[in-house]
Structures are given as structure tokens and as C-alpha cells.
Amino acid sequence: MRGSRKRLVTFVGALLVTAGVIVAACFTVNCLVDPLWYLRGNVLTDINYPFNERLSKLIRFLPRMRDYDCMIFGTSRATLLPEEKAEGYRCFNMAVSDGQASEYLLYADYLRKRGFAPRLIIVDIRRSDMIGPATPPEVPDFVRSGEAPPSILAMYLSLDALDFSIRTLRGDAPHHRYYDMDFHAWLEKRSKRHYYNPSVPIKPEAPPHDIHPERADAYIQLRQKFPTARAIAYLPPESAWRIAAFSLTDGFDAYLGAIGKIAAAYDQFLDFSVPSPLTLTKDPKDTYDGSHYSRRVNEKVMAALLANPEDVAIDWRGRDAATLIPVYRDKLAEFMATTSRAEAGAARQPEKKPETN
């Protein structure tokens, strides 16, 4: 009987030690890979994947909040905006994949309650916010409740975090973007069969086309959350082929009307979605889908936002949709005419016969 009890104690002790080793190993791996950005990021490969940007960006920002006086709100397109190029400001890029205005409002309320009062906000306007069915906001529970984020101990002892760490080490990215050791976002290199090659002739964009101009109010409310800040909004670069397809739908003019309403509420509003040298490129170094543009392209966007629009954007300041719609239409008509001529020329070009000796 005494021997049986001793064996049981030994077994339980070994079990506890094994469990402790497993838990410690889980925590250690998660700390080294740091998939939720509590520490310094991934010290093993210097690649940080955006598994949960809505959580990890706040986790990274809150302990350093006093270091920043500028914030970028936006979608995955704005994650590629180089925040370090905002001269004169210390900018934090809070943009997240599929971000939407209803979420930015919740983040703004949360940050204001914690004392954050930026000198500058930059807001990426998402077109789909005003088209089709509304999408409910998706933010961490602690943002809604106003509480602090969960502790590193609670998160890094979880199997979910371990799964993120393993996927990071395997190179299993959730998106076609990654963050480097300085938490700057970059586009992943893609194979030639995934290069951007828009179809011609240009046809109307697929549904939905129903425009909801009232949703523009959320962007106006966001600007009002930070009344003392300089507020810049912008439409990010979009392939000329994509915006031309959208312009062929019934909702295009109503959409521009909603944009004009937003533009009037901001100190500056630049539109990079019109045909321009930025959006006429199909270079894989610049874009992989005509919607997400490289950090190199976005350096020009940031420079234009802060100083010099040059010829890459339409400046909405002091202008309304009624005056800008014809400008848009003219630029798009010129682009589509050029595209049609190029397509016709390619079709007429005779097939080159192989030379014979």
C-alpha cells in the first residue's frame, strides 16, 4: 500500500513537472516570436505577421502613448503608409486590415479616455464603407469596456498565441503583408502568375452598387473626436482600371457627393484614386492587386499629404462634388480612350512568324 502511494506521488509529481515544462516552453516560444507585439517583436526571424492587428497595435501603442502626437487610422492600404516620414510628428500607424469608420470611432473614444490628444490625425477613407450592406465593427472587448488590454501572461500561455508563433516560424502569413523588426509594413513578393494584370475592355464593377451617403457622417464624427488636431483625410491610390470600372456604375456620382461631404470636414483632403502616374502602373514592385500599393509608392502619398500634392492627387479643399465630378469624368474618359486605343492596336498587330533559314 505504501509503495502504491509512493508511485502515485511520483507519477503526479512527474506529471506536474512535465506540465510545467510544457507551459514554460509555450510561454518562452511566444515571448521569442511575440506574435501579439507585447515585447520587441519576433527576435528569431525579424518577421512579424499581422494575425490580429486590432489587438496587437493597441498592445504596442498604449505603453508608448506619450511618445506619439500623431495617429493614422485606416485599412490595410494605410498600413503601408510610412509613418516615419511624417516630418515634424511622431506618428503611430493604427491602420488595420478591413478597418472601417465605425471601428475608428470606438478606438478614438478609448484613446481619448486614456488622455491621448494628437496634434495630427491622418484618415484613409474606405470606399466600401459607403457601398452595400453595413458591416458591424470588430474591436477587442476591452476597447468597448474601456479596460486595459489582457496581460502578456494571460495571452502568451494560450494555445492560440502558440499557433500564431508556429505559423510565423513556418512563414504562414495571414495576409500579403508583413511587418519588419521596426514594425513597418511591407508587401510580400509574389510569383509572376500573381502579378496584377487588369482585364480589358473595362467593364462596370460587380455589385453591390447601392450608395449610402449617410455613412459619411462616421468620418465627420471621427474628425470631431480630435477637435484640436490637424486633420488630413485621403482616398488611397487605386488602379486606374479599378476606379474606371467603378465609374461605370450608377452609384459613382452619389459616391463622390459623399466624399465631398467628408472633405468639407477636414483641414485637407487629397484624392489619389484618380488616374495618375501612381495609379497607371502595373509594376509588381508597386502593387500586386491594384489596391494595395508598396511602401515606396506610399512615400509619395505621405509627402503629398504633408506638403506637395504635385500631379498625383486631386485636392478637394474649397471645392465641392459638383465641380469635381466633371474633372473626374474627363480624367477617366481620357484614360479609357487611351486604353481602348492601346487594346485596338494590340489586336491589329500581326502575329510575328518565326524566321526560317
Cα–Cα distance for residue pair 146/156, rounded to 1 Å = 22
Residues recorded for the chain? 357
Helices 240-247, 252-263: inter-axial angle, 10-degree rounding: 110
Distances (CA, A) of 43 to 29, 36, 242: 10, 13, 39
The closest of 223, 235, 304 to 265, measured between CA atoms, is: 223
pTM for this structure? 0.91
CA within 13 Å, CB half, 127: 22
Give the three-class secondary structure for 247.
helix
Q: pLDDT tens string for the chain (357 positions)?
A: 566 776 666 666 666 666 667 788 999 999 999 999 999 999 999 999 999 999 999 999 999 999 999 999 999 999 999 999 999 999 999 999 999 999 999 999 999 999 999 999 999 999 999 999 999 999 999 999 999 999 999 999 999 999 999 999 999 999 999 999 999 999 998 888 889 999 889 999 999 999 999 999 999 999 999 999 999 999 999 999 999 999 999 999 999 999 999 999 999 999 999 999 999 999 999 999 999 999 999 999 999 999 866 678 999 988 888 888 898 899 999 999 988 776 656 656 655 555 544
Give the three-class secondary structure for 166.
helix
Torsion sign over Cα 315, 331, 256, 202 = negative
Which phi and psi (to 5°) does residue 288 adopt?
Answer: -110, -10
The closest of 321, 309, 287, 290 to 232, measured between CA atoms, is: 309
Give the three-class secondary structure for 210.
coil
Cα–Cα distance for residue pair 164/246, rounded to 1 Å = 37
Question: ∠ CA(194), CA(130), CA(281), 5° rounding?
Answer: 30
Cα–Cα distance for residue pair 79/151, rounded to 1 Å = 25
Strand partners, 291: none
Compute, in degrees rounded to 10, the torsion defined by CA atoms 83, 86, 90, 96.
Answer: -30
Cα–Cα distance for residue pair 5/62, rounded to 1 Å = 52
Which phi and psi (to 5°) does residue 235 adopt?
Answer: -95, 120
Residue with cell 495571414: 174
The closest of 37, 292, 300 to 188, measured between CA atoms, is: 292
Domain annotation for the chain: domains and CATH numbers = 47-151+173-347 (3.40.50.1110)
Which phi and psi (to 5°) does residue 241 adopt?
Answer: -70, -40
